[in-house]
Amino acid sequence: MGGFILRRVVYMIPTVFLVSIVTFIIIQLPPGDYLDSLAAEMGEAGVDNTAVVEQLRAQYGLGEPMYLQYWKWMTGILLRGDFGISFEKNLPVTDVIWDRLGWTFAISLLTLAFIWAVALPIGIYSAVRKYSVGDYVATFFGFVGLAVPNFLLALVMMYVAFKYFGQSVGGLVSPEYIDTPWTWAKFANLLQHIWMPVFVVGTSGAAALIRIMRANLLDELYRPYVVTARAKGMSEFQLLLRYPVRVALNPFISTIGWILPTLVSGEIIVAVVMNLPTTGPLLLRALLVQDMYLAGSLILIVSMLTVIGTLLSDVLLAWVDPRIRYQ
Amino acid sequence: MTAIDPAAEAHLAEAPNTPALLGPWALMWRQFRRHRVAHVSLYVVGFIYLVALFGEFLSPASHLATNTRAPFAPPQGIHIFTEAEDGTRTFQLHARGLKMEVDRVAMRRHFVEDPEKVIPLGFFVEGFEYRLLWLIPTNRHFFGPRDPKQTVYFFGADRLGRDILSRIIMGTRISMSIGLVGVAVSLLVGVSLGGISGYYGGWIDNLIQRLIEFLRSIPTIPLWMGLAAAIPLDWPPLRTYFVVTLIVSMIGWTTLAREVRGKFLSLRREDFVVAARLDGLSDWEIIRKHLVPSFASHIIASLTLAVPLMILAETSLSFLGIGLQPPIVSWGTLLKEAQNIRTIIEAPWLLVAPGAAIVITVLALNFLGDGLRDAADPYAQ
């Protein structure tokens, strides 16, 4: 097991390295940089700015060739934990991003829990009661869940919540709780809000997992060992949970690997629509104004955390299934 | 009735006894038709592509025409009978004109239907000039107000008074073609890389597999957002369109490449491939003549399932304002108009109409792909 984990971690290093390079290239792609737009803005205001801009450019090393900039940025991160500076906010990137990243991952993990809690029982039900009314309903909602884009569902939910339930929409807490210290009332208020993004982000994932669980379990349900156990007089419920479901769970766990990236992606887009204090709106804004170190750090950290999450799911899978461990 | 072709007669008589020898494609079609939802979806998808082709003919108004007197005009219903003063009803398809009323308390304007103002509707009416299928100049439209100067908003109007129905119809062309072009790109990349990977194996297989794993392990939206945000706003619409298509096709090819690789791996050792090699066929000929035809049906099924993913990707990017830009009309740019909750509450049709178009299309394509996947291997049972 130790060897397996070690091997996976070593495999991860080139991936992370590639992610950092790709990220850097992407944030360098737009022609010009933040200082250009700043200079244009100041020029419109009639301020002579060449000296200031040149000084800033030298300070951030923006005129240098790309590999040198990349080297500076990377060494800063690795040696000093310094992700550079957010031009627009004029703050170190680290001051801006951490609590937002925390929320993104909190919502993504909650969503994962939600998906499991929904997909597991429904998947089992649809497999055991194949072609029943409940199975058809689950299948239908599964397809609809896959067909509705996240942001559209978010808009519809916000509309319904606002129009028919009079709930304040957008944000994770009601306006009066923003910037107040944490209390039970604020926590309760948070719970009233957070279910909506969790539900919206989770629908498509849950839909996919229900299909997977159903297919896996159907492969197992008619195997001879199930028949044998039934012949020996085991109660149906116990039998189901103890053998076929356990076998069917394996592919279920391995799906975390691909579901986590989609959850993070979904969360980012839904956050823009619902105006959540997570990475989504921050990243969009940073990309639009070419606040490149902020955008780059966000993409980098989100991707890295996702890669680590995938690693964890692989380890979990290896722990559950010895066949993978000894490959 | 006497002149029955003897050959046909013999064939008819013989038919019940000999089991019909059907080719693989005929078997697939038979299998496919059993999946009833998929069969219906095939026609829905066909219809949607027809709408994309004949967009101008089907749209009642120009999708670019603005109307300062009808911002956020609500959808107008189609009425069947007109009622004269004496109560006699006559058949006349018509819509009722809109009257603007000012609510002095809420300080808002809103529209009400005016039963006095009858706008007759008809089929094959005259309207704006266009070229049918980019070729034939005409001004006929399938359905709309008889008087070309009138505009009827069947699905409502947006903030500039543009007809939503016409915009959705014209957006169909962009959104659906992005799916097709994107799939073509993924097909090219996926089949060649997956084929190389599976056919040659070894280090190149390893390299390509690591690349695919890498692409799949990073969250797509932040990366796309980065790429899409790099598109300069002053680019011509056509170039933006192609770059966005390339970006969204980046997702599709990995799945396809994996599938093709798996097929290659399993088929590589089959007798017919070995026989072909011993016969002296080159690698390329084996791939083209023997391997590709044997899994073409699987590829078609996965391609169909990739189209909706790309449509959703384009929609999401355009919705965020970093994909396609106005004046290009796609379902995503249409939904961008419904971005904030205030607009949606005032004009729900901005959300409902394009949203329904997306959901119906994606559902139909998913069902179709599902049916095709089931039918792809008719010898399975």
For residue B241, the domain's CATH number is 1.10.3720.10
Domain shared by B146 and B203, yes or no: no
pLDDT value of residue B7: 54
The structure tokens listed for B126 are 């005259």
Whether residue B115 is found in the same domain as residue B208: no
Q: Has residue A171 got a pLDDT over 80?
A: no
A299:B355 CB<8 A? no
Q: Which residue of A has its CA nearest to B355?
A: A152
Measure CA A182 to chain center.
Answer: 25
**Is-contact B267 B295, C-beta < 8 A?**
yes
B23 touches chain A (CB under 8 A): no
Residues belonging to chain B:
381
Q: Is residue B31 part of a domain?
A: no
Instruction: Report the pLDDT averaged over residues A229-236.
Output: 85
Judged by DSSP in three states, B95 sits in strand
B206-230 burial by CB neighbour count: b if 16+ within 10 A, else e?
A: eebbeebebbbbbbbbbbbbbbbbb
Does residue B1 form part of some domain? no
| B70 and B213 housed in the same domain | no
**Looking at B147, B162, B177, which one is the last position of a domain?**
B162
Residue B189 to residue B326: CA distance in whole angstroms: 30
Residues B321 and B335 in one domain: yes
Predicted local confidence at residue B270, as pLDDT: 81
**pLDDT number for residue A327:** 53
- CB–CB contact B223 A151 (8 Å): no
User: Do B276 and B191 sit in the same domain of this protein?
Assistant: yes
Residue B131, CA distances (Å) to A46, B123, B151 in order = 50, 18, 20
pLDDT tens digits, A102-149? 888 888 888 888 988 888 888 888 888 878 888 888 888 888 888 888
A144 touches B: beta carbon within 8 Å? yes
User: Is residue B122 located within the same domain as residue B187?
Assistant: no
pLDDT category at A267 given cuts 50, 70, 90 is confident
B101, amino acid identity: E
Out of B144, B162, B180, a domain closes at B162
Q: Give the SS3 label for residue B104.
A: coil
Kindly list the residues from chain A whose CB atom is less than 8 angstroms away from the CB atom of residue B223. Answer: 22, 26, 299, 303
d(CA B13, CA A248): 52
CA gap A273, B74 in Å, rounded: 24
For the beta carbon of residue A43, count every other beta carbon within 10 angstroms.
13
Residues in chain B with CB shorter than 8 Å from the CB of A12 are none
Scanning every residue of chain A, which has its alpha carbon at the shortest distance from the alpha carbon of B223?
A299
CA distance A279 to chain B (A): 10
**Least CA distance to A144: which residue of chain B?**
B363
Domain match, B122 and B180 both: no
Per the model's pLDDT, the better-predicted residue between B44 and A11 turns out to be: B44
Q: Is residue B236 part of a domain?
A: yes
Nearest CA in chain A to B221: A265
Inter-chain CB proximity B359 and A151 less than 8 Å: no
B183 shares a domain with B155: no
* pLDDT tens, per residue, chain B with 381 residues: 445 555 555 555 555 555 667 777 787 787 777 778 888 888 998 998 988 888 778 777 777 777 777 777 777 777 777 777 677 777 777 777 777 777 777 667 777 777 777 777 777 777 777 777 777 777 777 777 777 777 777 787 777 778 888 888 888 888 888 888 888 888 888 888 888 887 777 788 888 888 887 777 777 777 777 777 777 777 787 788 888 888 888 767 888 888 888 877 777 778 888 888 888 888 888 878 887 777 777 788 788 888 888 888 888 888 887 778 777 888 888 888 887 777 777 788 888 888 888 888 888 888 888 888 777 766 654
Give the residue-averaged pLDDT of A172-183: 72
Q: What integer is the mean pLDDT of A224-238?
A: 85
Contacting residues of B for A310, CB less than 8 Å apart: 217
Tell me the per-residue pLDDT of B99-127, one tens digit each, with 9 for 90 and over: 777 777 766 777 777 777 777 777 777 77
Q: Which of A143, A268, A306 sits opposite B218 (nearest CB)?
A: A306
Closest-approach residue (CA) in chain B for A164: B345
Chain A positions in Cβ-Cβ contact with residue B221 (cut-off 8 Å): 264-266, 268-269
Residue among A305, A308, A320 nearest A97 (CA): A305
Residue B131 lies in a domain: yes
**Contact with chain B for residue A303, Cβ under 8 A:** yes
Q: How far apart are CA B101 and CA B65, in angstroms?
A: 23
Which of A30, A143, A152 is opposite residue B229, by nearest beta carbon? A30
Structural domain includes residue B139: yes
Among the three residues B162, B177, B210, which one is the final residue of a domain in this structure?
B162
* Alpha-carbon distance values, B47 to A98, A164, A305, B365 (Å): 49, 36, 44, 12
* Residues 185 through 244 of chain A touching chain B, CB cutoff 8 Å: none
Contacts of B225 in chain A (CB under 8 A): 268, 283-284, 287
Q: What domain range includes position B345?
A: 45-51+168-375
* Touching A: B residues 325-364, CB under 8 Å: 335, 338-339, 341, 344-345, 348, 351, 355, 358-359, 362-363
**pLDDT tens column, A27-70:** 777 766 667 766 766 666 666 667 777 777 776 666 677 787 88
Position B3 in a domain: no
Largest CA distance in chain B: 91
Are residue B231 and residue B186 in the same domain, yes or no?
yes
Q: Is the pLDDT of residue A269 over 50?
A: yes
**Do B340 and B205 reside in the same domain of the chain?**
yes
Chain B residues touching A298 at Cβ < 8 A? 222
A257 in B contact zone (CB under 8 Å): yes
Answer whether residue B15 is part of any domain.
Answer: no
Query: What whole-number distance in Å separates Cα of residue A120 and Cα of residue A252?
Result: 9
> Complex ipTM above 0.85?
no
Closest chain A CA to residue B340:
A273
Q: How many domains does chain B have?
A: 2
State whether B194 and B343 are in the same domain: yes
**What is the reported pLDDT for B1?**
43
What are the angstrom distances between the C-alpha of B194 and each of A314, B205, B267? 24, 8, 13
Contacts of A302 in chain B (CB under 8 A): 219, 222
- Average pLDDT value for residue range A165-184: 70
Chain B residues 3-22 with CB within 8 Å of chain A? none
The 3-state DSSP composition of chain B as helix, strand, coil percent (nearest 5) reads 60, 15, 25
* A169/B341 touch (CB, cutoff 8 Å), yes or no: yes
B186 and B114 in a common domain:
no
Q: Is residue B91 part of a domain?
A: yes
Flag whether residue A262 sits within 8 Å of chain B, measured between CB atoms. yes
A6-45 residues touching B, CB cutoff 8 A: 14-15, 18-19, 22-23, 26-27, 29-31
